[in-house]
Amino acid sequence: MGKITVEACGIEGLKVITPAVFGDARGYFYETYHYEAYKEAGIDDIFVQDNQSASRRGVLRGLHFQIQHPQAKLVRVIKGEVFDVAVDLRPGSATYGKWHGELLSAENKKQFYIPKNFAHGFLVLSEEAEFCYKCTDFYRPGDEGGIIYNDPDIGVTWPIPEGMELILSEKDTKWGGIHSIER
């Protein structure tokens, strides 16, 4: 269809999507989501909720997952730049505990598709960032789990610039490692 380009990430199911952007002297246009194009690319999910957050430089959100009601997510950045991470938590997966990170920005317009049963998080690299994502299930209070962002058993290489002070929520400082997850 020519609307998107899809790259595999070395972990089955994870995909980086780059949309076709049409620009001229007035600005640009692109489709942020087109069901048929994504279905052709192997993403046949029905998204039921859209979320948006704003964060400042140094904010690290995650690594979060849903316990009883897992969500697939399609994430993108509409302002600024983040390093986005997904960790495979699928029971029995050959890549369980492996991670992939992707630089998402308003400039590159890339999207990151994260299937169900992955932990997800991101680090804001720009002064500010606005982050948008589609989910395949509704948010349910009390259904969120997490893994500490610097779990040595996962070994995410966060691109933390020298002098950057990380800003985490209280709950994100208290998560255990991947081996503390009850599955």
Active centre residues (catalytic): 64, 133
74 in helix, strand or coil? Answer: strand
Q: In this structure, are residues 15 and 113 in contact, taking their beta carbons and an 8 Å threshold?
A: yes
Residues in the chain: 183
74 Rama class: left (phi>0) / alpha (psi -120 to 50) / beta: beta
The closest of 119, 16, 34 to 77, measured between CA atoms, is 16
